Amino acid sequence: MLHILNKPPHSDAAVQMLNALSNGDSVVLIEDGVQAALYPEWQGWAANTASFFLLAEDAISRGVHSVATSHGLPLIEMDGFIRLTEQNEKIISWY
């Protein structure tokens, strides 16, 4: 399953998403979700059950791209995001 989060990492939507993750899920952090790069202690980074990605263009527009890069966080371009949507039969947006 692909999860798309557009809210900050400490929002109710983010907490609900983390509770709903299953083994093998993917998560794309978009819009304000990319603020998670500013919180290395965020519970999502420790979730071993899912793969997390930050949408690069949103990280750039919100000024966290260099932080994400320096922390080795996985950034994904729009074409990679599209591929993830094609690969996952089920997609849920958290907002």
pLDDT tens across 10-54, in order? 999 999 999 999 999 999 999 999 999 999 899 999 888 899 999
Residues of the chain by 3-state class (helix, strand, coil), percent to 5: 45, 20, 35
DSSP-derived letter for residue 20 is H
* % of the chain beyond a pLDDT of 70: 100
Burial degree of 55 (CB within 10 A; 0-12, 13-18, 19+): buried
Per-chain mean pLDDT for the chain: 96
**pLDDT score of 47:** 83
**pLDDT score of 49:** 86
- Contact present, 68 and 42 (Cβ < 8 Å): no
CA distances from 73 to 4, 16, 86, 90, 91 (A): 16, 22, 23, 24, 22
Q: What is the pTM of this model?
A: 0.95
**pLDDT score of 75:** 97
